[in-house]
Amino acid sequence: MSQHPLPDNLHLDTLAVRTAVDRSQYGENSEALYLTSGYVQPSAEASARRFAGEEDGYTYGRSGNPTVSSFEMRLAALEGSEAALATASGMSSIMLMLFSLLKAGDHVLYSQSMFGSTIKLIGSEFARFGVESTIVAQTDLAAWKAAIRPNTKILFAETPTNPLTEVCDIAALADLAHNAGALLAVDNCFATPILQRPMGMGSDIVMHSGTKYLDGQGRVMAGALCASEKLITEKFLPVIKNSGMVLSPFNAWVVLKGLETLDIRMRAQSARAHELALWLQEHPRVARVYYPGLASHPQHDLAMKQMSGLGGAVLSLDVKAQDPQSARTQAFHVLDSLRVLSLCTNLGDTKTLLTHPASTSHGKLSEDQRQAAGIGQGLIRVAVGLEHIDDLKADLLRGLDTL
């Protein structure tokens, strides 16, 4: 159906609901969901041209789908990238990125605070194919610089990190990468384009787990890479077409609609997280609160500059304890006393989710490795949702006040 092109210079919240709406002949207002694995070709000649790449047009689900394309275009508009490519999950987008850009003998530099599966994928799985890697401290720019080698192809950063919300300087890492002829990739899961747009700070690739805030309601797995048209069409598209970690149209539709409320969710959830962080740091049983929005956060100034003045929706707290065993008992008591909030290993949901990192995401590390990573037995991560702030506080107090 013919539609007017959108005017230039629309604001992000307008783009989130208005861009990439490709109406069918029925003129539906809400985006259509195209659940089909194949496409009927208008003629044998047209089919041949499409397969030869000489004509636009859908052929098969592994090569493209209109609902998936809408999600990709809308995410690219929000991130300010030329293009985006959707994948089945956040991890598969990292897999696609590394698989498309690296060969045996290449080197990847990344931080020790990255998502656990990312560290395993690079440090163990890709190592089996001769890809070298070095882990550095998240916030130590000199360490990143010193670890660059002639064969370094990718610097991969995540900011803020899980669960300690450590922040790294995206623009400075982009300079380091580019001076070394490497690319900078940023995992933007925690901040989302509403708070932080790494492409504008020099990042070459932005990676997403759509499972988190982009869906925002804990329903589906999804992932994406945002990058230049050239990287997407020359590097990532050929590999995904032949390897198949594509996003299902149904999941794409869910995340596409999730993007419409991303702005108000991120702001409302960040506001609740900030109030909760300020309140928690005054509680007598709380030893420390980790949250980029707090003045006590070691990279507070950088975080505020880089994240639109907001701290995001994830915070962590350490309960006071004499030793690791009692810390674990006390953290478990707080978690087991919850009656409203969820004990759940996910984040980016409208429901507030709490986890105990030392026995879940970081459970396979030795106690020494955990101490080095700063993940104590008393640490609790809170991914703040949309419940009323008074109910959030009251549910945490059930355990904190009876320690």
Provide the pairing of β-strand 286-290 with 314-319: antiparallel
Does position 223 interact with ligand PLP (CB under 6 A)? The reply is yes
The residue of the chain with the least Cβ separation from ligand PLP equals 90
Cα 186 to Cα 7, 148, 269, 327: the distances in Å are 30, 17, 22, 33
Nearest-approach distance from CB 72 to ligand PLP, in angstroms: 16
Residue span binding ligand PLP (CB under 6 A) among the ranges 87-95, 139-147, 278-286, 362-370: 87-95
Examine residue 215 and tell whether it contacts ligand PLP (CB under 6 A): no
Considering only 84-92, 144-152, 252-260, 302-310, which stretch makes contact with ligand PLP by CB under 6 A? 84-92
Contact 88, 222 (CB under 8 A): yes
Q: Which amino acid is located at 381 in the chain?
A: R
Q: Residue 251, interface with ligand PLP (CB under 6 A)?
A: no
The Cβ-side half-sphere exposure at 223, using a 13 Å CA radius, reads 18
Give yes or no for residue 111 binding ligand PLP (CB under 6 A).
no
Q: Of these, 31, 106, 132, 158, which contacts ligand PLP (CB under 6 A)?
A: 158
**Which residue of 91, 167, 176, 403 would you call a contact of ligand PLP, by CB under 6 A?**
91
CB of 346 to ligand PLP, least distance (A): 8
By CB under 6 A, what part of segment 184-203 binds ligand PLP? Answer: 187, 189
Q: Which is nearer to ligand PLP, 34 or 156 (CB)?
A: 156
220 CB contacts (<8 Å, ≥6 apart)? 210, 211, 250, 251, 254, 255
Stretch touching ligand PLP by CB under 6 A, among 59-67, 177-185, 209-217, 318-326: 209-217
With binding defined as CB under 6 A, does residue 254 bind ligand PLP?
Answer: no
Q: Which of residues 350-369 bind ligand PLP (CB under 6 A)?
A: none
Minimum CB–partner distance for residue 88 and ligand PLP (Å): 8
Q: Tokens 């069918």 identify what position?
A: 24
Residue 89 engages ligand PLP in binding (rule: CB under 6 A): yes
Which region, judged by CB under 6 A, interacts with ligand PLP, from 15-23, 29-37, 205-213, 263-271? 205-213
Please give the Cα distance from 392 to 394 (Å, whole number): 6
Degrees, nearest 5: CA angle 130-187-344: 105
Among 107, 153, 197, 212, binds ligand PLP (CB under 6 A): 212
Between CA 396 and CA 331 the distance in angstroms is: 11
Site of interaction with ligand PLP (CB under 6 A) = 89-91, 115, 158, 162, 187, 189, 209, 211-212, 221, 223
